[in-house]
Amino acid sequence: MVRSILLRGFDQEMAERVGAHMETHGVKFIRKFVPSKVERLEEGMPGRLKVTAKSTEGSDILEGEYNTVLIAIGRDACTRNIGLETIGVKINEKNGKVPVNDEEQTNVPYVYAIGDILDGKLELTPVAIQAGKLLARRLYGGGTTKCDYINVPTTVFTPLEYGSCGLPEETAVERYGKQNLEVYHSLFWPLEWTVPGRDNNTCYAKIICNKYDNNRVIGFHVLGPNAGEVTQGFAAAIKCGLTKELLDETIGIHPTCAEVFTTLDITKSSGQDISQRGC
């Protein structure tokens, strides 16, 4: 059951491709509904549960019976009872999170915040660790490096694994303007999927380039096996200012999935077919 969109905060083209793959393999999504009541009809392992759900866009009600219900409720920051108001630290009243500047400084100059508690930042443990190290170095070691909250490699371990680094396409368009971007993309077929004839033209690679900054890669997105491993490697290159020209000059390892990023030659704006017929 999806209350709004899949994978909020991620590139929505990639999210919808993940959803389409899951639907092809038997997952049924109920979109724009939220559960309002869960009733136990029968004890047991599994038992029977009745779920009542309401539409997020109207008055429609859905009912269904299931043997298991798992609810992803999200999380708020537990900041309301630790005395922040005493020293004047502002929080986002909606979720309890703390707004900070690019140095993790709150509105009170001598109070800093890092990690999942930050308003509008990524809820990822490695990001919190990195931010903490860099903050300590700036405060006590004479460092100047700030945490990069944009070029953060991350992976969603969906059945069709999704790896990303940099900006979602929607954010890139909003920030730079569609006319200033070039998006290169391709479907691909992992070698190990060719023998069983599995899911041809499902895996997908996309990079978003800033045309007026030497075609620098500002968004990297991949759907396929081991997407996390692929993304981790390219993330270092993106931190170094990876450009489309450098990708084109990189020799691919055949027949890996990551190789596709060294051979991207079709742009979205061209409208050309990106279907593949071999590995």
Side-chain half-sphere of 31: how many Cα atoms within 13 Å? Answer: 9
Exposed, middle or buried, 25 (CB in 10 Å: 0-12/13-18/19+)?
exposed
Side-chain half-sphere of 10: how many Cα atoms within 13 Å? Answer: 23
User: Per-residue DSSP letters for 188-201?
Assistant: E--HHHHTTT-STT
Residues 6+ apart with CB under 8 A from 223: 14, 17, 18, 21, 160, 161, 162, 202, 203, 204, 205
What distance in Å separates the CA atoms of residue 62 and residue 64, rounded to the nearest whole number? 7
Tokens 């170095």 -> residue: 137
21 is catalytic: no
What distance in Å separates the CA atoms of residue 217 and residue 84, rounded to the nearest whole number? 40
**Active-site residue set:** 254
